[in-house]
């Protein structure tokens, strides 16, 4: 998500100057690859770039060739990074994969897919998009779809992706330990809101990176909260009563993640007093929140929490990759690939 922010920011700069750009999008891979389909790279005429489609090897080639490759329109460029492929021979790599990259020119006022990405992020409404990869005359076209499969025998080849808004993280508690959590969440490109009932805590100057800093008492006169299908929340008020009140407010909402700072005993007592004993077994609840990395101090706790939220969004347990069998990119969700569903059941 952070990459998309950087790509959109660069494109805004180029548009303002009336300059074009080349957008590179990974649309198909086989074997091992550094990035998954949907990864993007934006290139300016002067060599500025944002995003990435690989670990660096493809970017160098695209900087040299993207403009003349797209002189006659969008194209799909094939890169072979297997030990005997052309990339391995030139750069000494051996990623054991083949990567197909869609290259297309953008011009001011004609941002193509970037305009749709902007819209999705602004309205927080997802979109399923089909990019045409073949035949050659139609490459670069795309359409918003209901994900209805193309009839058998169709002459078209598609790359289908789901564009979703960035995660919105709601932090209840504006203590000093919330500062590194905001910073790390924003580094990942998340949208971050900070709430606290104490005006001298909930200050904009204390959280300059947050999207919103709001003075709000739990259960106050305005109970509305900005919760949608892409929202996580953490309770870190360091106040038992305020955390319990917020837990009551949030327990009935559809969150992707709900974390409670502090020891397990405190959380269990809070759930019991709130009459939410059955909520203990809900997968959305993480109490105590954070991965077990031996965290000590605000910065390390923030790292543990952000990592657990990221793992939860991807239906992962957060264990070492060396203990994982199969592809490190394989989804553990029971949901079909590239299709957004509101309730994801993780393995």
Instruction: Please report, for the chain, the start and end positions of each structural domain, with discontinuous segments joined by +.
Output: 2-163, 168-313
CA atoms within 13 A on the CB side of 212: 14
Which of 135, 130, 136, 173 lies closest to 154, judged by CA? 135
Is the pLDDT at 83 greater than 80? The verdict is no
pLDDT higher at 259 or 153? 259
Q: What is the DSSP string of 177-215?
A: THHHHHHHHHHTT-EEEEEES-TTTS-TTT-TT-SEEEE
Tokens of 88: 């391995």
Which one, of 57, 165, 137, 45, lies nearest residue 101 by Cα?
A: 57
Contacts of 224 (CB under 8 A, 6+ apart): none
Q: 187-191, 264-268, 289-293, 335-339: lowest mean pLDDT where?
A: 335-339
DSSP secondary structure letter of residue 161: E
Query: According to DSSP H, which parts of the chain are helical?
Result: 2-16, 57-69, 86-91, 113-123, 178-187, 240-250, 264-273, 298-313
Q: Class of 168-313 per CATH?
A: alpha beta
Average pLDDT over the chain, rounded to an integer: 87
Query: Which DSSP state fits 14?
Result: H
pTM recorded for the entire structure: 0.86
């Amino acid at each position: 998500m952070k990459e998309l922010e950087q790509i959109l920011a660069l494109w805004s700069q180029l548009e303002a100057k009336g300059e074009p750009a080349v957008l590179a999008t990974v649309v198909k891979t086989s074997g091992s690859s550094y990035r998954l389909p949907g990864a993007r790279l934006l290139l300016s005429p002067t060599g500025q770039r944002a995003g990435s489609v690989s670990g660096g090897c493809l970017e160098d080639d695209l900087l040299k060739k993207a403009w003349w490759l797209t002189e006659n329109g969008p194209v799909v460029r094939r890169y072979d990074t297997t030990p005997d492929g052309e990339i391995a021979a030139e750069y000494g790599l051996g990623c054991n994969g083949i990567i197909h990259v869609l290259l297309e020119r953008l011009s001011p006022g004609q941002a193509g897919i970037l305009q749709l990405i902007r819209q999705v992020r602004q309205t927080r409404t997802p979109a399923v998009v089909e990019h045409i990869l073949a035949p050659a005359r139609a490459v670069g076209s795309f359409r918003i779809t209901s994900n209805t499969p193309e009839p058998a025998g169709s002459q078209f080849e598609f790359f289908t992706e789901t564009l979703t808004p960035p995660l919105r993280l709601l932090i209840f508690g504006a203590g000093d330990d919330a500062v590194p959590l905001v910073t790390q969440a924003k580094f990942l490109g998340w949208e971050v809101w900070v709430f606290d009932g104490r005006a001298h805590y909930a200050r904009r100057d204390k959280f300059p990176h947050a999207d919103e800093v709001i003075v709000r008492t739990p259960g106050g006169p305005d109970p509305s909260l900005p919760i949608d299908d892409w929202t996580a929340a953490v309770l870190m008020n360091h106040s038992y009563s305020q955390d319990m009140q917020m837990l009551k407010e949030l327990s009935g909402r559809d969150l992707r993640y709900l974390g409670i700072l502090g020891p397990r005993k405190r959380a269990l007592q809070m759930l019991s007093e709130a009459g939410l004993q059955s909520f203990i077994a809900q997968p959305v609840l993480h109490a105590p929140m954070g991965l077990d990395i031996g965290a000590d101090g605000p910065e390390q706790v923030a790292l543990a929490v952000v990592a657990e939220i990221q793992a939860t969004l991807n239906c992962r347990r957060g264990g070492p990759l060396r203990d994982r069998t199969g592809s490190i990119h394989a989804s553990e969700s029971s949901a079909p690939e590239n299709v957004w569903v509101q309730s994801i059941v993780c393995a």
